[in-house]
A and B are shown apart, each in its own frame.
Chain A
Amino acid sequence: MTTVPVVSSSITIPSIHYLAILPVIILLGASVVLVFATALVRTKVTQFVASSVTVAASVAVLVVTYFQWRCLDSSGPSTTIAHAIVLDGFSVVATGVVAVSLLMATLVAHDWALRERIVGAEYQILALAASAGAVLMTQANDLVVIFLGLEILSLGLYVLVAFDRHRHTSAEAALKYFLLGGFASAIFIYGAALVYGATGSTNLSTMSYFLASNVLTHPGLLYAGFALLIVGFSFKIAAVPFHLWSPDVYEGAPTPVTGFMASIVKVGAFAAFVRVLISALGTQIDTWRPILWVLVVLTTVVGASVALLQRNAKRMLAYSSINHAGFILLGIWAGTTRGVASTLFYIVTYAPTVVATFAVVTLVGGLGDENHSIGGYRGLARRQPWLGASMCVLLLSQLGAPLTSGFYAKYSVLASTIDVGGSPLALIALLSAAIAACFYLRWSSALYSDEPVEATRIVVPLSTGIVIGVGVAMTLVFGIWPGPLVTLCQHATLLFTP
């Protein structure tokens, strides 16, 4: 008989700061509640109930972020649960953006589901779960948690993309997204393993501490690791050449889902990207900067120029969002506190704009979600001035026209780039914006075209109308009066900013 070794120490469960993980709990909780309701209640859960639960959850998250911010004000940023989760300004603001995106996207999807006669709470269940994943990514301080957040976010979206039962492109897009997403996830996790090998930890703070206190004479392993991490993130944010899935998926997915994806994936992936590169690998900036330089150039230029050739609204917006990803990367490239703040500002302003844009696209798409040629927008503003003008404002904001939030967003990332001597890069990005201006302007002028087009009047349902209104209002208010938001983003610094 062998003796069972005596357990030498009892396990001490790490302390848990519940306020920090409350947003994730709320979102997942709401999702699970809806799952149970679907399974247990005999009658089908109506869209109204499902959407109400989702809206309530996102509002609750917003309220929680307010208390988190107050907590930050009083006791400063902190980590919790064995340093796996961060509560800092950056995570709080990014969480708030996820909540706002979820809220707006749910309202749009609600009307869309009614229009397409979709029953059941499936959409809301998955949207809630995906948002929980995005929130996890914004808060994660551990590569494992980032990966899990990424997977939760992606799994939810894979199914959401396949949601449209009437169009085979929807299922096809989901399959493409799933396969390539799996590929990217594998690369990411391999990268995480290599970084673990090089630093001895998956925890970002520990990693940062290790790299700050040790000089790596042979950093090859670390480089290999973060190269693969960058590939994984680049896939998620659709940076060229890891972007090819995005136009197909944007086009194939139901339009409200596209809007939702475009906003929360960007928020989650960029937040985690910033944390990994700046917090954990800030000391390696000289190595990852050239990589990002090339990524920015390719992403901005390819995104803008290929968009010129698109005739489909959703594909064009996909390339436009690629172009935006390049701009957001600029802030990370700068690697300074200001750069991080400008990245955050860009995300905060871009998310509502893009959700509202896709809300208009959803409406124009009409029953069956198929009418997405740019030609469908001809004269929209003549027929329906409010809707057309809203779309025009949203497009101009993406173009970066003054008096819209997009202008200050672009300005601030470019300024932070130039601050650290990136004038050539800023110039290239700016040129891409000039190219992008062509198709935004072509689209906006189509809105005001005089040609008589046979078109039925688009009914704007209440909640979608609210979303568009709110999106336009945010675009204009933050455009004319960016001060408070800029201040907020400047205060929302990372916990371990160099």
Chain B
Amino acid sequence: MAHVSTLIVILPLLGYLLVLINGSRLTERQIGYVATGVVGLSFVASVVTFVLLLHRHSRQVTVHLFNWIDVGTLHVPAALLIDPLSITMCLFVTGISALIHLYSIGYMHGEKDYKKFFLYLNLFVFSMLTLVLANNLVLTFVGWEGVGVCSYWLVSYYFDRDSASSAGKKAFIYNRVGDVGLLLAMFLLFSRTGTLTYVGVFARAGSLSPTVATLVVLALLLAATGKSAQIPLFNWLPDAMEGPTPVSALIHAATMVTAGVYLLVRMSPVLAISSSGRLTIAIIGGVTAFVAATIATSQKDIKKVLAFSTVSQIGYMVLAVGVGAYAAAIFLMVSHAFFKALLFLGSGSVIHALNGEQDLRKMGALQRFLPLTFPTFLIGWLTISGVPPFAGFWSKGDVLTNVFEHNKILWVLGVVTAILTAYYMSRLFVLTFRGTERFREVTHGHDPHESPWVMTLPLVVLAVLSVLGGLLDLPWIHHDSLAGFLSSTFGYVAPLHAQSTLSQYGLAAVDVAAALIGLAAAISIWRSRTEDERLTPAFLEHVWYWDDFYDATIGRPLEELAVFSDVVVEDEVIDGGVMGLAVGISRSAESVRKIQSGFVRHYALAMMLGTAVLVVFLVARVS
């Protein structure tokens, strides 16, 4: 098992190295297949590990690779922690990544930096798996940073476009702010528990005082808001849509953004100690879900809608974590990975068909031309809207049921968000596939064409998964399904009050009603129009003016400080000081160098005098 689980991580790295070293000798297609193949094999290794783990009595295995850092009391091994949580993550990360790799072979066909793209993609998967499988926070942090930097490279993949390169920077900087949180959490935990391995921290979690635990949780939350695009660090994600669409699907829907949620779930034993910390998490999640959903209703770019929808869905997951429903969070994460990857890849297929056009106003009536994309996208739409019996209904229902138990206000917010979700997705769907043809201008009058099989095959697989994903964790078999499998890895979870079957059906009915209201409203409104100022107010379209707010409160003052530092502090104080010091050192060194005359007798003299001083010192010491 140790070997197989090591393979999960090593294979993508191997692929990276293979392509890096042989890249110039391989054809475009070979590069694509190598990169896809290693991730596929990694998925196979995950499955094997999963099966092996199922047959073990103790479902927590540490695979020690080597001692990485041994400094004083800090011992950080490079070791993997195989447990239900990490293997669940591995399964869907490698599975979906493999599909997206396959899809990219078609989508990226003919791009200039084809090789580079797959290099980054493999490196990204490697980082993500390191993050997930690490048995300690430091190694997780390595993966965390690796994911961050790969996402920077991939977002600014079209770096000759200004918007792409600045989006990359934005993503990176927002992530860095979040990273501070993770570092702070690590420092705090190390100073209080003396260890950074998960198992060690959890064993000593009980000794943390509630204040420290709350601080740790808040620091972790900061980290999670950065990586998972939650308020206040959420608005890098929509900009990150500048990257190629497979990147959006892989990073900004299925894997990277779930890292924050994963971290919170992983640290659940610490979360269990701090109820105020959990409440903060729940509020952040709920509010983010709502805010992002409102913004998604007014976007004109197909990928932007999906991006805000991602933010909103992750808000749900964070909300679930906040109320202690970790299994529900993971369930939603997995099913979201299915349907959001499906939607992104579907939208990629649409964009591909329209020669790169992303504006919803220039689409419409594509149903006829995209015979495979249309039905799969339809499934994705129904799934995210929460229509039974698709996966979204079950997973979102699971979250909302748990929230209802803990906090009625947040539950109401959740239901409103559900209505909004159904609404904006239906708007997207209708504008894209129904209505009148508005794309002739971008296709130069040609008919749009369906994508090649490497692109449609992943769509079909993901569509099937979206339909069946609910089976992972149906409400009446909680203990024998995902939730039961995962439960051993969580900290203390307050048991749900035994809800009556009636109230469960009631809640489910509310969910269905919310979905249907949203669908009906959107279809009736957007069937006949493509634009409406009243329904897409500028306030929402411009993301609640969030960027302008940051610009005014943080950006400008910082820039002024930077200018001040540059002109006054740097030039006058530091530069002056350093130059002064440098001149001083040079002057004194110059005089020392004079001794370096090249004459042996001078050298011997220096030695003699050195010896004399030494002897005098010892004479003084003896007497």
Residues of A that sit less than 8 Å from B by CB:
175-176, 179-180, 183-184, 187, 218-220, 223-224, 227-228, 230-231, 234-235, 241-242, 244-245, 247-248, 287, 290-291, 302, 305-306, 308-309, 415, 435, 438, 481-484, 486-487
Cβ–Cβ < 8 Å partners of A231 in chain B: 607, 610-611, 614
CB-based contact A248/B586 at 8 Å = no
CB-based contact B70/A224 at 8 Å = no
Interface centre among A235, A242, A244, A245, by most chain B C-beta atoms within 10 angstroms, is A244
Q: Does B600 contact A (CB under 8 A)?
A: yes
CB-based contact B604/A180 at 8 Å = yes
CB-based contact A223/B622 at 8 Å = yes
A305: which of B588, B606, B609 is its contact (CB, 8 Å)?
A: B588
Q: Does B615 contact A (CB under 8 A)?
A: yes
A483 to B604 CA separation, bound complex (whole angstroms): 43
Question: Quick one: given A242-B606, A245-B603, A483-B70, are A305 and B618 in contact (CB under 8 Å)?
Answer: no
Nearest-neighbor residue (CB-CB) of B615 within chain A: A227
Using an 8 Å CB-CB cutoff, how does the interface string of B57-73 with A read, 1 for contact, 0 for none?
00000000011111010
CB-based contact B618/A486 at 8 Å = no
CB-based contact A224/B600 at 8 Å = no
A3 to B532 CA separation, bound complex (whole angstroms): 132
Q: Does B535 contact A (CB under 8 A)?
A: no
Question: Quick one: given A180-B607, A244-B595, A302-B592, are A308 and B586 in contact (CB under 8 Å)?
Answer: yes
CB-based contact B68/A483 at 8 Å = yes
CB-based contact A481/B603 at 8 Å = no
CB-based contact B68/A481 at 8 Å = yes
Cβ–Cβ < 8 Å partners of A247 in chain B: 596
CB-based contact A223/B611 at 8 Å = no
B69: which of A176, A179, A235, A483 is its contact (CB, 8 Å)?
A: A483
Nearest-neighbor residue (CB-CB) of A291 within chain B: B614
CB-based contact B585/A483 at 8 Å = no
Question: Quick one: given A481-B68, A484-B66, are A241 and B610 in contact (CB under 8 Å)?
Answer: yes
Question: Quick one: given A241-B607, A484-B66, are A308 and B589 in contact (CB under 8 Å)?
Answer: yes
Q: Does B617 contact A (CB under 8 A)?
A: yes
Which 9 A-B pairs have CB atoms at the shortest separation, nearest pair first? A244-B603, A483-B67, A305-B589, A241-B610, A223-B618, A306-B589, A220-B622, A241-B606, A305-B585
CB-based contact B614/A309 at 8 Å = no
A290 to B618 CA separation, bound complex (whole angstroms): 10
CB-based contact B607/A309 at 8 Å = no
Which applies to chain B's interface (DSSP): helix, strand, loop or mixed? helix
Nearest-neighbor residue (CB-CB) of A438 within chain B: B582
Interface centre among B72, B611, B619, B621, by most chain A C-beta atoms within 10 angstroms, is B611
A-B contact pairs, 25 of them (CB 8 A): A176-B603, A180-B600, A180-B603, A184-B607, A223-B621, A230-B614, A231-B607, A231-B610, A231-B611, A242-B607, A244-B596, A287-B618, A287-B621, A291-B617, A306-B589, A306-B593, A308-B582, A309-B590, A309-B593, A415-B72, A481-B66, A483-B66, A483-B68, A483-B69, A487-B67
A225 to B116 CA separation, bound complex (whole angstroms): 65
A223 to B615 CA separation, bound complex (whole angstroms): 8
Cβ–Cβ < 8 Å partners of B582 in chain A: 308, 438
Q: Does B495 contact A (CB under 8 A)?
A: no
Q: Determine how close the nearest CB of chain B comes to the CB of A67; give it in whole angstroms.
A: 24
Q: Determine how close the nearest CB of chain B comes to the CB of A184; give it in whole angstroms.
A: 7
Cβ–Cβ < 8 Å partners of B611 in chain A: 187, 227-228, 231
A149 to B444 CA separation, bound complex (whole angstroms): 85
Q: Does B602 contact A (CB under 8 A)?
A: yes
Q: Determine how close the nearest CB of chain B comes to the CB of A305; give it in whole angstroms.
A: 4
Cβ–Cβ < 8 Å partners of B68 in chain A: 481, 483
A489 to B275 CA separation, bound complex (whole angstroms): 47
Cβ–Cβ < 8 Å partners of B72 in chain A: 415
Instruction: Taking A227-B614, A291-B617, A305-B585 as given, write out 20 further A-B residue pairs in contact, using a Cβ cutoff of 8 Å, ordered by the A residue number.
Output: A176-B600, A180-B604, A180-B607, A183-B607, A218-B622, A220-B619, A223-B622, A227-B615, A231-B614, A241-B610, A242-B606, A244-B602, A244-B606, A287-B618, A291-B614, A435-B585, A438-B582, A483-B67, A483-B68, A487-B67
Using an 8 Å CB-CB cutoff, how does the interface string of B578-592 with A read, 1 for contact, 0 for none?
000010011011101
B609: which of A218, A241, A481, A487 is its contact (CB, 8 Å)?
A: A241
Cβ–Cβ < 8 Å partners of B598 in chain A: 248
CB-based contact A309/B604 at 8 Å = no
Cβ–Cβ < 8 Å partners of A228 in chain B: 611
Cβ–Cβ < 8 Å partners of B610 in chain A: 231, 234, 241-242
A248 to B597 CA separation, bound complex (whole angstroms): 10
Cβ–Cβ < 8 Å partners of B593 in chain A: 306, 309
B600: which of A179, A187, A234, A306 is its contact (CB, 8 Å)?
A: A179
Q: Determine how close the nearest CB of chain A comes to the CB of B428; give it in whole angstroms.
A: 46
A224: which of B66, B607, B609, B615 is its contact (CB, 8 Å)?
A: B615
A228 to B618 CA separation, bound complex (whole angstroms): 11
Cβ–Cβ < 8 Å partners of A245 in chain B: 603
Nearest-neighbor residue (CB-CB) of A310 within chain B: B593
Cβ–Cβ < 8 Å partners of B586 in chain A: 305, 308-309
CB-based contact B589/A309 at 8 Å = yes
Interface centre among B610, B617, B621, by most chain A C-beta atoms within 10 angstroms, is B610
Cβ–Cβ < 8 Å partners of A248 in chain B: 596, 598
A183: which of B590, B604, B614, B618 is its contact (CB, 8 Å)?
A: B604
A231 to B592 CA separation, bound complex (whole angstroms): 20
CB-based contact B615/A308 at 8 Å = no
Nearest-neighbor residue (CB-CB) of B623 within chain A: A220
Nearest-neighbor residue (CB-CB) of B619 within chain A: A220
Cβ–Cβ < 8 Å partners of B617 in chain A: 290-291
Q: Determine how close the nearest CB of chain B comes to the CB of A218; give it in whole angstroms.
A: 8
Question: Quick one: given A241-B610, A291-B617, are A486 and B589 in contact (CB under 8 Å)?
Answer: no
Nearest-neighbor residue (CB-CB) of B599 within chain A: A176
A234 to B607 CA separation, bound complex (whole angstroms): 10
A180 to B66 CA separation, bound complex (whole angstroms): 48
Nearest-neighbor residue (CB-CB) of B77 within chain A: A483
Q: Determine how close the nearest CB of chain B comes to the CB of A342; give it in whole angstroms.
A: 12
Nearest-neighbor residue (CB-CB) of B610 within chain A: A241
Cβ–Cβ < 8 Å partners of A224 in chain B: 615, 618
Cβ–Cβ < 8 Å partners of B596 in chain A: 244, 247-248, 306
Cβ–Cβ < 8 Å partners of A302 in chain B: 589, 592
B67: which of A179, A305, A484 is its contact (CB, 8 Å)?
A: A484
Q: Determine how close the nearest CB of chain A comes to the CB of B619; give it in whole angstroms.
A: 8
A247 to B66 CA separation, bound complex (whole angstroms): 42
* CB proximity to A under 8 Å, residues B551-603: 582, 585-586, 588-590, 592-593, 595-596, 598, 600, 602-603
Cβ–Cβ < 8 Å partners of A486 in chain B: 70
Cβ–Cβ < 8 Å partners of A291 in chain B: 614, 617
A415 to B621 CA separation, bound complex (whole angstroms): 29
A231 to B607 CA separation, bound complex (whole angstroms): 8
Cβ–Cβ < 8 Å partners of A309 in chain B: 586, 589-590, 593
A252 to B589 CA separation, bound complex (whole angstroms): 22
Cβ–Cβ < 8 Å partners of A483 in chain B: 66-70
A306: which of B592, B606, B621 is its contact (CB, 8 Å)?
A: B592
A110 to B592 CA separation, bound complex (whole angstroms): 37
Q: Determine how close the nearest CB of chain B comes to the CB of A403; give it in whole angstroms.
A: 12
CB-based contact B621/A308 at 8 Å = no
A105 to B499 CA separation, bound complex (whole angstroms): 77
Cβ–Cβ < 8 Å partners of A219 in chain B: 622
Cβ–Cβ < 8 Å partners of B606 in chain A: 241-242, 244
Cβ–Cβ < 8 Å partners of A306 in chain B: 589, 592-593, 596
Q: Determine how close the nearest CB of chain B comes to the CB of A136; give it in whole angstroms.
A: 24
Cβ–Cβ < 8 Å partners of A482 in chain B: 69
Nearest-neighbor residue (CB-CB) of B585 within chain A: A305
Q: Determine how close the nearest CB of chain B comes to the CB of A466; give it in whole angstroms.
A: 17
Nearest-neighbor residue (CB-CB) of B67 within chain A: A483
Q: Determine how close the nearest CB of chain B comes to the CB of A442; give it in whole angstroms.
A: 11
Q: Determine how close the nearest CB of chain A comes to the CB of B585; give it in whole angstroms.
A: 5
Nearest-neighbor residue (CB-CB) of A177 within chain B: B600
Cβ–Cβ < 8 Å partners of A242 in chain B: 606-607, 610
Using an 8 Å CB-CB cutoff, how does the interface string of B280-314 with A read, 1 for contact, 0 for none?
00000000000000000000000000000000000
A183 to B603 CA separation, bound complex (whole angstroms): 11
